[in-house]
Amino acid sequence: MKVFAAMAPELPLAEVPGYARRVERLGFDGVHVAETIHDSMATALLAVEHTTRITVRTAVTLAFVRSPTLVAYAAWDLAVLSGGRFELGLGTQIRQNIQDRFGMPWTEPRARMAEYVAVLTALFEAFRTGESVHYEGDCYRVTRLQPYFNPGPKDIAAPHIWLGAVNAGMCELAGATAHGVVTHSTNSDPDYLRAVVRPALEGGARGRDRQPLLIASTAIATGSTDAAVARERERQRRMLAFLLSTPAYAPALQRRGWTELAGRLRTLTHQRRWDELPTVLNDVALDELLTCGRYDELPQLLHTKYASVADGVVLPPLGDDDDRPIRQCVESLKTMGTKRT
């Protein structure tokens, strides 16, 4: 089983190099770089520059707020600099954030993402060969790439493209066009992965010569001691309460019959009562959504839940815990393997 470490979205850029080196030193396969208050590509650059072995994957870079050509340039540079260790994870975000936080237009996300990936693929091939590019679709048109603006020819492997996905449609698109899918913390419970995500992913991949991978970015509360786990559990309560107030993620509650809970969370956000969100997410719901356990307990817990449905898992951002239990946890998970059928 592949094991990745998340990076805290609020981590100051000056601390990214040290964090990335720590992730590498502890034996992780890679680090996941989020995008909330920092540019994910800038953060990934720092992680790539200060490591030599691990995969550095954005999880996820927001596609619809950027020109695909600019993303292609940045991803290509990172692929070259890293010697092939950089991987580009893309996500759509939700309508309100695209329109009201970024001031960008919103269109139907699945078709737009399909075109976005197609443009990137065409550009990567142009960079590899040194040739021009010609793509015309309903959402994007890229038909000009003079030699002066082409970083190629450079015969390297294009960076793998991953999609962040919640619903079946985007998972199917990932199967058809991407290297794999990174799930969201609100849709990573094993039953949903088994019933919805995995079938959609494999259905989309029908006819391809390889099966796409599934990385479960699940909600985990862990630490070296029971007290540390308890503190992390409350941090996760705050995070999940905020995420689940978003209609796009509310199905995680509705599937369990907690429709009223989803509505209450949404009402609080409409009223901008952000601090009250965690008080609504009760212990029953939290324990259903979270995997809780010390680092020495975590390998067996995650293997039991995910070995039959996922190719890898993402552990939460590393705190101030001693490195030894984290390293042992990672080693145990990597040796357990998967048993997908």
Asked whether residue 312 falls in the same domain as residue 261, the answer is no
Model pLDDT for residues 263-307, shown as the tens digit of each residue: 999 999 999 999 999 999 999 999 999 999 999 999 999 999 999
Residue 165 and residue 258 in one domain:
no
Q: Are strands 141-142 and 135-136 parallel, antiparallel or unpaired?
A: antiparallel
Asked if 230 and 218 sit in the same domain, the reply is: no
Same domain, 26 and 105: yes
> 30 pairs with which residues across the strands?
4, 55
pLDDT at site 340: 59
Position 338 pLDDT exceeds 80? no
pLDDT tens-digit map of 242-252: 999 999 898 88
Does residue 253 sit in the same domain as residue 325? Answer: no
The answer on 216 and 81 residing in a single domain is yes
pLDDT tens digits along 186-238: 889 999 999 999 999 999 999 999 899 999 999 999 999 999 999 999 999 99
Instruction: Rounding to the nearest 10 degrees, give the CA dihedral for residues 281, 214, 104, 277.
Output: 10
Residue 339: the pLDDT is 62
Does the pLDDT at position 341 exceed 70?
no
CATH code, domain with 205: 3.20.20.30
Same domain membership, residue 231 and residue 213: no
Same domain, 202 and 311: yes
Same domain, 114 and 240: no
Instruction: Say how many C-beta atoms besides its own lie within 10 A of residue 322's C-beta.
Output: 10
Query: Tell me, what amino acid is at 339?
Result: K
E-assigned strands of the chain? 2-6, 30-33, 55-58, 61-62, 86-91, 135-136, 141-142, 161-165, 180-183, 213-216, 220-221, 291-292, 312-315
User: What is the DSSP annotation of 8-42?
Assistant: -TT--GGGHHHHHHHHHHTT-SEEEE--SSS-HHH
One domain, residues 190 and 265? no
**C-alpha span between 314 and 9 (Å, rounded):** 14
> Which DSSP letter does residue 194 get?
I
pLDDT-based confidence at 97, cuts 50/70/90? very high
| Domains held by the chain: number | 2
Q: What is the mean pLDDT of the chain?
A: 96
* Distance between CA atoms of residues 240 and 161, nearest Å: 27
pLDDT digits (tens, 9 = 90+) for 34-67: 999 999 999 999 999 999 999 999 999 999 999 9
pLDDT at 336: 87
Are the beta carbons of 328 and 300 closer than 8 angstroms? no
Verify that 10 and 91 share a domain, yes or no.
yes
pLDDT per position as a tens digit, 253-266: 988 999 999 999 99
Q: How far is CA 94 from CA 62, 190, 202, in A?
A: 10, 24, 25
User: What is the pLDDT, as a whole number, of residue 251?
Assistant: 87
Contact 317, 219 (CB under 8 A): no
Find the domain containing 298 and state its range. Answer: 2-225+290-337
- Tell whether 15 and 114 lie within a shared domain: yes
